[in-house]
A and B are shown apart, each in its own frame.
Chain A
C-alpha cells in the first residue's frame, strides 16, 4: 500500500472541504473494499478522508420509507427491527453481505458509491427504486449506477443517505461465491401495486441492471411459474473462472423464481 495523508473528519462540510483541497482524494467509509484495493495498489490516492466520525451519517429512519444514513453498517441494518418489519428483504440482504466482521464495518454508502458489479446493495437500490441523497442533490437509482464501478457521483460528491420506498412484496436471492460471498448472481424482485421492478447483480458485464424480460413476465403474473418460458441472453453477461455467461443466464432465471416464491 502506498502511503497517503489521512484526515479524520467530523461533519459533512469539513469532509467535502478537505476532499476539495486534496490532489487526488478519496472518502473512506468502513474501508472494507477500499483497504484491500489499496493493498493491491489498484488505487493510490494522495489523501484519504475518513467519514466514520461524521455521526449524522449513522442514522436509520423508518417512516413512509426506509432511510439509511450512508455510514449505516451492514450489521446495523441487518439487526434493525424497524428495517426488518418495514422491508424484510433489505435486512436479509444486509445480513448476507461478506461475513460478520465485514458487516460490522462495511457501510451502505461505501457499497453504493463503489458499485462493485457483484455487490448486493446496488440490486436493492435499483429494484426498490431508491433515491440516493448526496451533499448536493438527490439521484434516483435508475440514473445513479452508470457502469461497472461507475456512478453518477461527481468529484468530491458525498452520499449522505439512501432511501427506499416500501414495496408490497420483495425478496433478494443470491447465489454467492462460496469464498468471498459476493454474488455470482443475485436477483432482487419488488412489487409496488402492479409495478414489478427486478434488479440483477453479479452477472452483468456493465454492473447491476434491470432485466426487462423478467419484469415483463412478472408484470402479467407475479409468480415463479410466469418465468418458465423466460430466458436471458448470455451476450452481455460476465464470464469468468467462477461461472460462464450461459450459466449465469440460467442462474438469473432460477434466482428470480426463488425470489418471487420467497417475496413477502
Chain B
C-alpha cells in the first residue's frame, strides 16, 4: 500500500492508504479531521472543499496519493486558537448557515475567493458558489457573510 506524506493545517502527516483512497477519506478516516464533509460524493455539492496548495479543490474528487507533498488546509486549520477566522466569524454574524452541513465547504470556498478577489461583487460571489450547494439558506445570508468578511479582510 502506498505511503502518503503531506502537510495538513501546518503539520506534516503521513499514513498508509490504498491507491484508491480519496483525499477526503484520508482526512476524515485516517486523520479524524471530520470537519470536511461528504455530501454528494460526485463533485457537485462542495461540502468536501479544502485548499490544496492554496487553491480550493473537492477532496472527494482527488486521491490521497495526488496530495503527496501538498499543503492542505481544512476547515479545522482556519481558526487561530479560540479566535475564529474572519470568514467563520462573518458566517456566524450573518446567520450564514442553518443545518451547517455545507458550511465547511462554503467557508473554504469563500476564503479562496476572497484571497484571490477581495473586491468580489455580489454577482462574482454568487458565480463562485456554483460548486457549493446549500439546501437550507437560499444562499442570501451566505453571500452577505462573504461580503462582510471581504470588507473586514480586504478593507
Cross-chain contact B56 with A3 (CB below 8 angstroms): no
Contacts of B55 in A (CB 8 A): 75, 104
A8-B65, A100-B128 as given contacts; A3 in contact with B19, CB under 8 Å: yes
Cross-chain contact B18 with A100 (CB below 8 angstroms): no
A8-B65, A31-B63, A50-B66 as given contacts; A102 in contact with B20, CB under 8 Å: no
B interface: dominant SS: mixed
CA–CA, A48 to B66, complex, Å?
11
Cross-chain contact B44 with A101 (CB below 8 angstroms): no
Q: What residue in chain A is nearest B48 (Cβ atoms)?
A: A101
Taking the nearest CB of chain A, how far is it from the CB of B43, in angstroms? 6
Q: Which listed residue (A1, A4, A101, A180) contacts B109, Cβ 8 A?
A: A101
Q: What residue in chain A is nearest B19 (Cβ atoms)?
A: A6
CA–CA, A105 to B68, complex, Å?
15
Interface 9-residue window, one of A32-40, A56-64, A162-170:
A32-40
Cross-chain contact B19 with A105 (CB below 8 angstroms): no
Contacts of A75 in B (CB 8 A): 55
Contacts of B34 in A (CB 8 A): none
Count A interface residues, CB 8 Å: 27
B138 at the interface (CB under 8 A from A): no
A100-B128, A102-B131, A181-B130 as given contacts; A4 in contact with B19, CB under 8 Å: yes
Q: For chain A residues 39-94, which have a beta carbon within 8 Å of chain B?
A: 39, 48, 50, 52, 75
Cross-chain contact A31 with B131 (CB below 8 angstroms): no
Interface size class of B (residues with CB under 8 A): 20 to 34
Cross-chain contact B19 with A101 (CB below 8 angstroms): no
B113 at the interface (CB under 8 A from A): yes
Contacts of B46 in A (CB 8 A): 99, 101
B11-26 interface code vs A (CB 8 A; 1 in, 0 out): 0000000111010000
A4-B20, A39-B41, A179-B44 as given contacts; A98 in contact with B131, CB under 8 Å: yes
B102 at the interface (CB under 8 A from A): no
Cross-chain contact A100 with B61 (CB below 8 angstroms): no
CA–CA, A204 to B113, complex, Å?
35
Cross-chain contact A101 with B41 (CB below 8 angstroms): no
CA–CA, A5 to B18, complex, Å?
9
B59-81 interface code vs A (CB 8 A; 1 in, 0 out): 00111011010000000000000
CA–CA, A50 to B18, complex, Å?
15
CA–CA, A100 to B19, complex, Å?
26
A137 at the interface (CB under 8 A from B): no
Contacts of A48 in B (CB 8 A): 19
Cross-chain contact B65 with A6 (CB below 8 angstroms): yes
CA–CA, A64 to B58, complex, Å?
36
A136 at the interface (CB under 8 A from B): no
B154 at the interface (CB under 8 A from A): no
Contacts of B113 in A (CB 8 A): 100
Contacts of A102 in B (CB 8 A): 43, 58, 61, 131
Q: Which listed residue (A5, A8, A105, A180) contacts B62, Cβ 8 A?
A: A105
Contacts of B62 in A (CB 8 A): 31, 35, 105
Q: Which listed residue (A3, A5, A31, A181) contacts B66, Cβ 8 A?
A: A31
Taking the nearest CB of chain A, how far is it from the CB of B74, in angstroms? 14
Cross-chain contact A101 with B49 (CB below 8 angstroms): yes
Given contacts A3-B18, A6-B2, A35-B63, 8 further A-B contacts (CB under 8 A): A8-B65, A75-B55, A98-B131, A100-B109, A100-B128, A101-B57, A101-B109, A105-B52
* Closest 6 A/B residue pairs (Cβ): A99-B131, A6-B19, A99-B130, A104-B55, A1-B20, A101-B58
